[in-house]
Chains A and B, each alone.
Chain A
Amino acid sequence: MKKFTTFNKLSIILGLSFLYIPIVLLVIFSFNESRLVTVWAGFSTKWYGELMQNQGILNAASITLKVAFISSTMATVLGTMAGFSMSRFGRFRGRTLFNGMIYAPLVMPEVITGLSLLLMFVAISFNRGMWTITLAHTTFAMCYVAVVIQSRLTSFDRSIEEAAMDLGCTPLKTFFVITLPIIMPAVVSGWLLSFTLSLDDLVIASFTTGPGATTLPMKIYSMVRLGVTPEINAISTIMVGVVAAGVVIASFLHKRSEARIAKGEMMAGAAP
């Protein structure tokens, strides 16, 4: 009886249009000749050219990429450890607090996270700048990684690990030789998620930044406050393009590795 009705089709079409039309318009008008963002005056890439001359934006982009790269790498390591602890170690002391601390930042308003981190950096007189933003991003991104890793590990066939340990493999080696390669797609998507979250963050970065460290979202925000311009559309298009390419590549890798694992499991007779 699983009919796919016209109403169903219509809701998907309308829903996806709602999600994509704003982004598509943004991209189209980044190639507009005119300074007016809503009136089409011919195709031009001049706003991209102007972007490349804007030293402020280039600096902001380089800081943002550095912060995103370092924080997502740290968040992936910490988050994998946290996710592994949550799914494998049963009841350790303080587990409730630990779970609470991992889940809370996912829904915590950013203004609170940002303010609290800033007040702490001030309290310990930590020099604010690129590094404080990096630490702040690591903290909230690792929670997302932990959740991704945890949900991957719940559907994990533990008999493979047990087999390795029965054959004398140490737990540490088992993790690196057996567990990590299998959960690698989840680790990679955790890293990508952290990277985009960091690339995206305005509020926490604004609170925790110091003199001289302006990230791209902060720069865009200050430009947006002055009005809608084709330059902002051009940076936005580049950012959207980079992220979309990353996600598509990641899902492609994911599919390939899933297929490889499925094949391996089948050959080992481990598939149900």
Chain B
Amino acid sequence: MMPEEINARTDTGRHNNGGISRMVRECRPYIWGAKLCRAYGLQGRSITVAIPYLWMLLLFMAPFLIVLKVSFSEIRIAIPPYAPLFQFIDNSYIQITLQLKNYAMLFKDALYVNSYLSSLKIASISTIITLAVGYPIAYAMARAPREWRLTLLMLVILPFWTSFLIRVYAWIAILKPEGFLNIVLIWAGIIDKPLIILHTDWAVYIGIVYSYLPFMILPLYANLEKMDFSLLEAASDLGCPPGKTFWKITFPLSMPGIIAGCFLVFIPAVGEFVIPDLLGGSSTLMIGKTLWTEFFNNRDWPLSSAVAVVLLLMLVVPIVWFQRFQARRGAVDVV
């Protein structure tokens, strides 16, 4: 990446008519652009972009290409434990072996198909529960007296800063058969036999809702706080009952916040590992856990790469969609 080139392109990139006339047109701004760059010290600018850019290309983009490559290779007992894709034969040919076995395996073996489907199911259900739990909280925060709001916001963000692993661990002691929840429920006389929640899907739902609640509340709050409450006043003046006002006005107006919150919960929840591993049972299938097992226990690097590629393909649509959505709304702080 040439420093001048980036800046020159920013000026001339819009003229794309092609042909000689374009070359002539582009030539002069190029020289001028370069001169202007030097005059205004814009090389510093290019360096500022180039360093993080290269970093991300090397440590984010390149690794994905390697995952893609490994997913097409075959497992073997060696270091590294996969066969090379490219092989030189007699120094004059390159043999490329694309092994589709791993992908075939993902569709043949019910374990993988079920893991993907069950991840989507668990993530969707937890997203809906998180929305139902988070909305009233965000709404109340937006309506709270102004001097409380910053403190409330701090209180919601604070758990997000403390360790994820620790917060998930804390739920084990609450949910297990002799845990706090059962002690309280039995003491209150609501149940007489301990509920079995730990190591079931229910525990996973609770874990996801608990861990990702701040991600839902923050965008909702940011949206609801900006809402024009005089609209609600107008509706009630015109005789609209409160319930109807909510569904007709507040809810549709908060849609951008709802969408942002749901994506921030759903996308990471699909690939979650810690929560299903610690709170879920052996029957709780989630793809992050399956990938982990495949990698660490079965040491099948090509197959786990294939699992990762398919998971990424599944998430690419929501991720790109979400980015477009965020870009349209302008940069919104995620944290």
Bound: A64/B264 CA distance, A:
27
Interfacial residues of chain B within 227-252, with CB under 8 A of chain A in the complex: 229-230, 232-233, 236
Contact A117 B59 (CB under 8 A): yes
Contact B170 A171 (CB under 8 A): no
Stretch at the interface among B18-26, B94-102, B105-113, B311-319: B311-319
Contact A92 B60 (CB under 8 A): no
Contact B159 A23 (CB under 8 A): yes
Note all chain B residues with C-beta closer than 8 A to A244: 158, 161-162
Interfacial residues of chain B within 29-83, with CB under 8 A of chain A in the complex: 40-42, 44-45, 48-49, 51-53, 55-57, 59-64, 66-67, 70, 80
Contact B308 A4 (CB under 8 A): no
Closest to B315 in A: A109
| 0/1 string, B287-326, CB within 8 A of A gives 1 | 0100110011000010011001001100100010011001
Total count of chain B residues near the partner, CB < 8 A? 107
- Interface SS of chain B: helix, strand, loop or mixed? helix
Bound: A243/B163 CA distance, A:
9
Interfacial residues of chain B within 134-167, with CB under 8 A of chain A in the complex: 134, 136-137, 139-141, 143-145, 152, 154-159, 161-167
| 0/1 string, B169-185, CB within 8 A of A gives 1 | 11111101011100100
**Contact A111 to B323, CB < 8 A, known contacts A18-B213, A38-B178, A120-B66:** no
Bound: A203/B292 CA distance, A:
9
Bound: A194/B170 CA distance, A:
23
Contact B61 A101 (CB under 8 A): yes
Note all chain A residues with C-beta closer than 8 A to B104: none
Interfacial residues of chain A within 95-115, with CB under 8 A of chain B in the complex: 98-112, 115
**Looking at the complex, which one of A85, A202, A236 makes contact with B52 (CB distance below 8 Å)?**
A85
Bound: A99/B270 CA distance, A:
23
Bound: A25/B217 CA distance, A:
23
Bound: A81/B44 CA distance, A:
11
- Interface SS of chain A: helix, strand, loop or mixed? helix
Bound: A138/B56 CA distance, A:
10
Contact B143 A172 (CB under 8 A): no
Bound: A115/B61 CA distance, A:
13
Q: A22-B171, A98-B49, A120-B63 are in contact. List 11 more A-B contacts (CB 8 A).
A: A4-B144, A9-B140, A12-B144, A20-B159, A92-B49, A93-B10, A107-B263, A110-B288, A119-B305, A196-B162, A220-B165
